[in-house]
């Protein structure tokens, strides 16, 4: 550590000794919370330590107030975001959220299916994903990909044969009823 760093640290230490109680009291009065006031007062001096150019400060209380006020604004922004997030939580149906174990199993199955479909043409993979993951019917897939329904059926058979070689039965075929009725 250089001499300049030590002198800056000593200078901030002197400022801390001289002004911490004053800053803490001021913040506690404004924030109505002793713990937040302590945190922000301490963070103010930490930021002052990180100032790149050490030197004499003509108005230390003005500088400390400015730094502390910026930290208070950050605190308020964080609280605002937290409140907004907490307000949206009741809007989400927690029954629709799968448990972590189910999510892990689903991801593992998807990775396995992806490995099995490697090497197949993109339209075959797209057909499989649109059918099994998105739940689209064969006519919907044909319209989206610009292919015939017969091609959709052929592509699905090709993908399913590839998956069945390893004994994987990925997802249920949601579109079979619609396929049969068309």
pLDDT tens profile 90-148? 666 656 666 788 778 877 777 777 777 778 888 888 888 888 877 889 999 999 899 99
What global pTM score does this model have? 0.48
Residue 69: burial class (beta carbons within 10 Å; 0-12, 13-18, 19+): middle
- The correct answer on CATH 3.30.365.10 for the domain covering 98-181 is no
List the chain domain ranges.
3-91, 98-181
User: What is the tens place of the pLDDT at every residue in 45-94?
Assistant: 999 988 876 567 789 999 999 999 999 998 888 887 777 777 776 666 65
Q: What is the average per-residue pLDDT within 166-178?
A: 50
pLDDT value at residue 168: 56
8 A C-beta contact, residue 20 and residue 41 = yes
Decide: 162 and 173 in contact? Cβ < 8 Å: no
Cα-atom radius of gyration of the chain, to the nearest Å? 31
pLDDT at 178 over 60: no
Dump pLDDT digits (tens) for 34-49: 999 999 999 999 999 8
């Amino acid at each position: 550590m250089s001499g300049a760093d030590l002198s800056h640290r000593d200078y901030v230490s002197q400022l801390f000794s001289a002004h911490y109680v004053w800053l803490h009291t001021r913040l506690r009065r404004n924030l109505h919370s002793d713990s937040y006031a302590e945190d922000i007062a301490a963070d103010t001096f930490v930021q002052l330590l990180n100032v790149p150019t050490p030197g004499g400060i003509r108005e230390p209380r003005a500088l400390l107030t400015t730094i502390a006020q910026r930290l208070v604004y950050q605190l308020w922004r964080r609280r605002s975001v937290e409140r907004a997030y907490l307000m949206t939580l009741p809007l989400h149906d927690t029954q629709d959220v799968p448990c972590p174990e189910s999510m892990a199993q689903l991801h593992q199955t998807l990775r396995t299916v992806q490995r099995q479909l490697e090497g197949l043409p993109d339209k075959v993979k797209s057909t499989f994903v649109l059918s099994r993951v998105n739940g689209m019917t064969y006519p919907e897939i044909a319209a989206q990909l610009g292919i015939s329904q017969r091609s959709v059926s052929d592509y699905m058979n090709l993908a399913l044969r590839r998956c069945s070689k390893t004994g994987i039965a990925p997802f249920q075929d949601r579109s079979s009823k619609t396929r049969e009725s068309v």
